[in-house]
Amino acid sequence: MRVLDVRDSGPGPVVIGRIPTATELIGRDRVTMRTAVRALDACDVAIVQHEYGIYGGPDGDEIIPLLRSLSTPAIVVLHTVLIAPTPHQRAVLETVCRLADTVVVMTDNARDILNRTYNVKPSKVRVIPHGVPVPRAAAATKHTASKRILTWGLISPGKGLEWGIRAIAQLRYTVPSVEYVIAGETHPKVLAHEGEQYREALQELITDLDLGDIVTLDNRYRDAAQLAELIADADVVLLPYDSHDQATSGVLIEAVAAGIPVVATGFPHAVELLGRGAGLIATHQDAESMAAALGAIVGAEGLAQQMHDAALRDTRHSSWPAVADQYRAIADRMISVAA
């Protein structure tokens, strides 16, 4: 069975494909659109990753003619299911789902929103969690004097990092040995349009709050092994995102899979995943709430251990091999029906 995964980042080229062949899909380019369709049709199943901002056209609607042109069955994976879409966003998502043979969402909450808000056949929808590396038995208790709080991922406005920094400014009075590491490069699209304005604003806030000795903006690139080491050294992962309707967070699931307690704002994926004991929910744009949640974890080793155990329990079915098996089972059924 050959499966091809397709994605795009708008007007710029992004490599898509399977080993050993690949093709490119470039926004607003009909030649690469036809090439992508031919590459997909050469496979038994196409997996299309859907996100509004990564394909060309308003709300990424250039994915629609590609799906219409396919003769091979398609699985569409929805990374965002908006609670209150604009009329055009709704039309795009409903059309994408109508053209798909199977629609995959990554959380129960996303499925509920899809069924409640959009005209999509419930029988098409499957829930498969975001995959993570095979969970490792990370130590729940760190044996260092300093408590390390970590946020990682591409840096951009909307990540709420200014609120995380303000939370550390409050936390240092109750946990004097705390440190906060924000690791990640600036998002390429933000860098292209705004430069380093957001990172510079964060650094200015760190200086104004006199946190230069305990808060670090680290923009080094890390490979998978280096990132795993960084995560394993953390006592708590902080996700202070501004979004109220983020359906899926890869950073969240990777942190939980590593057995690290998480403090996150109440976006849907965090509420669903952390509600089983792997972390705490803080109020959006509320430094005091974040500081209180962080302090509760780093100040109580027993609670950190409980969260560690809950995290590893909740992600045992989310490893990439387990997730791949679920996609393969869907693909097998689709091929059988098409035969």
Can you tell me the distance from the alpha carbon of 256 to that of 262, in angstroms, rounded to the nearest whole number? 7
Task: State the pLDDT at residue 93.
Answer: 97
Task: State the pLDDT at residue 134.
Answer: 65
Can you tell me the distance from the alpha carbon of 174 to that of 290, in angstroms, rounded to the nearest whole number? 13
Task: State the pLDDT at residue 248.
Answer: 80
Q: Which of 276, 275, 277, 279 is nearest to 251 (CA)?
A: 279
147-314 has CATH 3.40.1280.10 classification: no
HEC assignment per residue over the chain? CCEEEECCECCECEEEEECCEEEEECCCCHHHHHHHHHHHHCCCEEEEEECCCCCCCHHHCCHHHHHHHCCCCEEEEECCCCCCCCHHHHHHHHHHHHHCCEEEECCHHHHHHHHHHCCCCHHHEEECCCCECCCCCCCCCCCCCCEEEEEECCECCCCCHHHHHHHHHHHCCCCCCEEEEEECCECHHHHHHHCCHHHHHHHHHHHHCCCCCCEEEECCCCCHHHHHHHHHCCCEEEECCCCCCCCCCHHHHHHHHCCCCEEEECCHHHHHHHCCCCEEEECCCCHHHHHHHHHHHHCCHHHHHHHHHHHHHHCCCCEHHHHHHHHHHHHHHHHHHHC
Could you tell me if 74 and 63 are in contact, meaning their C-beta atoms sit under 8 angstroms apart? no
The dihedral of CA 264, 268, 270, 276: what is its sign? positive
CATH of 3-131+319-338, one of 3.40.1390.40, 3.10.180.10, 3.40.50.2000, 2.30.110.10: 3.40.50.2000
Structure tokens at 251: 């950073």
Q: How many CB atoms lie within 10 A of CB 258?
A: 24
Can you tell me the distance from the alpha carbon of 306 to that of 266, in angstroms, rounded to the nearest whole number? 21
Structure tokens at 98: 């109508």
CA distances from 6 to 25, 46, 66, 189, 293 (A): 8, 7, 10, 20, 39
Q: Which of 180, 311, 185, 314 is nearest to 255 (CA)?
A: 311
Could you tell me if 292 and 284 are in contact, meaning their C-beta atoms sit under 8 angstroms apart? no
Task: State the pLDDT at residue 213.
Answer: 95
* pLDDT tens series, the chain, 339 aa: 555 555 544 433 333 333 334 566 777 788 888 888 998 898 899 999 998 878 888 999 999 999 999 999 999 999 889 989 999 999 999 999 999 999 999 988 899 999 999 999 999 999 998 887 765 544 444 545 689 999 999 999 999 999 999 999 999 988 889 999 999 999 988 998 899 999 999 999 999 999 999 999 999 989 888 998 999 999 999 999 998 877 788 899 889 988 999 999 999 889 988 988 999 999 999 999 999 999 999 988 789 999 999 988 877 777 888 899 999 999 999 988 876
Q: Are strands 14-18 and 21-25 parallel, antiparallel or unpaired?
A: antiparallel
Task: State the pLDDT at residue 141.
Answer: 46
Task: State the pLDDT at residue 21.
Answer: 44
Question: Which part of the chain has CATH 3.40.50.2000?
Answer: 3-131+319-338, 147-314
Task: State the pLDDT at residue 142.
Answer: 52
Task: State the pLDDT at residue 23.
Answer: 61
